[in-house]
Chains A and B, each alone.
Chain A
Amino acid sequence: GNSVTQMEGPVTLSEEAFLTINCTYTATGYPSLFWYVQYPGEGLQLLLKATKADDKGSNKGFEATYRKETTSFHLEKGSVQVSDSAVYFCALRYNQAGTALIFGKGTTLSVSS
């Protein structure tokens, strides 16, 4: 079946460090891929998305490229800030009406100053 696998956390970094959170997926066809961020006690915010192979989604310094050959959508940021501390979820969804997102387990990022 369709699934999303994220690297286990927590990820602990110092401010201005480089961030990579790995995400791979299993799916048939061509789903869209997403990264969401959840700050403590809050709902989910869409961080970025990509709808087809080789697309790069980017937002707030974060970026991820849809790699069909490796079925991956790794999240990267060149220089993290303390305010980036949150839980990050990778997800996929087929572009059909009435289709729900399938989430990975989430990766907790903690950035210290």
Chain B
Amino acid sequence: GAVVSQHPSWVICKSGTSVKIECRSLDFQATTMFWYRQFPKQSLMLMATSNEGSKATYEQGVEKDKFLINHASLTLSTLTVTSAHPEDSSFYICSGNGYTFGSGTRLTVV
């Protein structure tokens, strides 16, 4: 079946630094990759939709300058949290092909 590999699984960074999260589709080509955010004990909220070779589409309220998305190839999409702050601490998860998810990244900003 379709597999999405997401790295890192967890990361701790200092406030003000940037963190990059990678999602790779291993056995299929993901024209579209979705990025979600999940706060503790809450549901998944769609942050943005990335399309290979074009700009990402962000959901209302998501800062595009803070959450930079790059989808340069059909198998790789990246999310960079720039100038991270403690309120950015969350669980980030990607999805390729619409319904296959990566394993998620737990980001803690200290």
Contact = CB atoms under 8 A, between A and B. Distances in A.
A93 B95 CA distance: 13
Nearest to B4: A43
B64 interface: no
Specify which of A36, A41, A93, A104 lies most central, judged by the most chain B CB atoms within 10 Å of its CB.
Answer: A41
A98 B42 contact: no
Contacts of B46: 100-101
Nearest to A41: B106
Interface in B86-110: 93, 95, 98-104, 106
Sort chain B's interface into a size bin: 20 to 34
Contacts of A104: 43
Given A43-B93, A89-B43, A106-B43, A101 B104 contact: no
A99 B51 CA distance: 11
Interface string A47-60: 00100000000000
A41 B100 CA distance: 17
A105 B31 CA distance: 27
B52 to A, nearest CB: 11
Contacts of B51: 98
Contacts of A34: 99
Interface of B: 6, 31-32, 34, 41-44, 46, 49, 51, 93, 95, 98-104, 106
9 tightest Cβ-Cβ pairs between the two chains A and B? A43-B103, A43-B104, A44-B101, A105-B43, A98-B32, A100-B34, A103-B43, A100-B46, A103-B44
Given A97-B31, A98-B32, 11 more contacts: A34-B99, A44-B93, A44-B101, A44-B104, A46-B101, A93-B98, A97-B98, A100-B95, A101-B95, A101-B99, A103-B44
6 contacts: A34-B99, A43-B93, A43-B102, A46-B100, A101-B34, A101-B98
